[in-house]
């Protein structure tokens, strides 16, 4: 028996090891890079507006690096907490914690380390106030949204979305050391933009969220109600974008852009409502989702361009 045991052990085929590049890619995937890109779209224009021109390259890079690490930390910890429902949802079943490419312990350590380093980096390279706002953003997303709201209320993305608005405050604070009503208006744009941005995605993956027990509004309410609330939030979003004109002294360039883009996006939400109330029309909710990304990117591009104009 002993000889057989030795023979078995000596002839056992070793398990294949994961290539280093794939391991690195798995950790990067946990940070949700595509979401981080969208957050950075709001940070740089805010910094330009706060400075009244282009800030120093060092300050811009320091803020963007810190913001990227902080957002990555929050997203990794979100994946760690949600790994049970990610297994159920078709959209998330290939995430590294579900496939086993990264262990829960590794993800937890990685997420915490990113968060600590991001706060230390921002406190050193920008100012303490920006670092405090960043810490608040991480806590709102990880604790407020992921741990408390997401599985308990259909308004989860509304209040949890505050975390996605914080890059505006962080960028402004990094430049000025404080906040202003202009920063509040920009915060409002992102806050009211979040529901009509995310709910169409939840409409498409309604069955996924229902199976996972996540009460997103499209899971617990009909398409008509979701479309009506999306229109209401879009109107409030446009109102905030227009409030920036007198608050920050924006020129006719931003004014025309914000009015035109706002009318276009509200129109896309109205079109969603019409399709939702038609018994024969296809919903095409993802048109609104993709359109919302275009809207936010274009509005904040106008925010960035306006202070750089020669008049």
In the chain the domains, ranked by start, together with CATH numbers, are 33-176 (1.10.357.140), 180-306 (1.20.120)
pLDDT along the chain (311 residues), means of 10: 42 54 90 86 96 96 96 96 93 91 95 97 98 97 95 93 95 97 98 96 93 94 96 98 97 97 98 94 93 97 94 75
Question: Which tokens go with 199?
Answer: 């709910």
Alpha-carbon span 144 to 156, nearest angstrom: 9
The alpha helices in the chain, defined as continuous H runs, are 2-11, 20-30, 33-51, 57-81, 83-86, 96-99, 104-125, 128-139, 156-160, 162-176, 181-204, 206-212, 217-220, 223-248, 252-276, 285-305
Alpha-carbon span 134 to 55, nearest angstrom: 20
Question: Which tokens go with 273?
Answer: 């409502």
Alpha-carbon span 193 to 57, nearest angstrom: 29
Kindly report the pTM of this predicted structure.
Answer: 0.90
Q: Which pLDDT score is estimated for 15?
A: 40
Query: In sequence order, what DSSP letters do the residues of 239-258 get, joined into one string?
Result: HHHHHHHHHHT--HHHHHHH
Cβ–Cβ < 8 Å for 208, 89: yes
Q: Which pLDDT score is estimated for 17?
A: 60
Q: Which pLDDT score is estimated for 23?
A: 86
Candidates 211, 219, 202; CA nearest to 84 is 211
Question: Which tokens go with 196?
Answer: 């009509």
Q: Which pLDDT score is estimated for 11?
A: 44
């Amino acid at each position: 028996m002993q000889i057989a045991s030795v023979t078995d052990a000596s002839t056992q085929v070793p398990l294949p090891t994961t290539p280093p590049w794939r391991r690195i890619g798995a950790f990067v995937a946990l940070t949700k890079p595509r979401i981080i890109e969208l957050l950075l779209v709001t940070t740089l224009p805010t910094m330009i507006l706060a400075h009244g021109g282009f800030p120093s390259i060092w300050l811009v890079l320091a803020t963007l690096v810190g913001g990227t690490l902080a957002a990555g930390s929050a997203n990794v910890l979100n994946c760690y907490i949600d790994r049970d429902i990610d297994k159920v949802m078709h959209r998330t079943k290939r995430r590294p914690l579900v496939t086993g490419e990264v262990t829960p312990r590794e993800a937890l350590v990685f997420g915490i380390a990113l968060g600590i380093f991001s706060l230390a980096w921002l406190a050193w390279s920008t100012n303490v106030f920006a670092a405090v706002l960043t810490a608040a953003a991480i806590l709102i997303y990880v604790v407020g949204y992921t741990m408390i709201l997401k599985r308990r209320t259909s308004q989860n993305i509304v209040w949890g979305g505050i975390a996605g608005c914080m890059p505006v405050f962080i960028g402004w604070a990094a430049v000025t050391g404080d906040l202003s009503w202009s920063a509040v208006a920009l915060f409002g744009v992102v806050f009211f933009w979040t529901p009509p941005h995310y709910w169409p995605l939840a409409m498409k993956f309604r069955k996924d969220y229902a199976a996972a027990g996540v009460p997103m509004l499209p899971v617990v309410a009909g398409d008509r109600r979701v479309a009506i609330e999306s229109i209401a939030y879009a109107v409030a979003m446009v109102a905030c974008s227009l409030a920036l004109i007198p608050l920050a002294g924006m020129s006719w360039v931003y004014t025309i852009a914000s009015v035109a883009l706002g009318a276009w996006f509200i129109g896309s939400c109205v079109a969603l409502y019409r399709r939702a109330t038609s018994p024969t029309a296809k919903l095409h909710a993802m048109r609104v989702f993709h359109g919302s990304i275009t809207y936010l990117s274009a509005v904040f591009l106008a925010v960035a361009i306006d202070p750089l104009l020669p008049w």
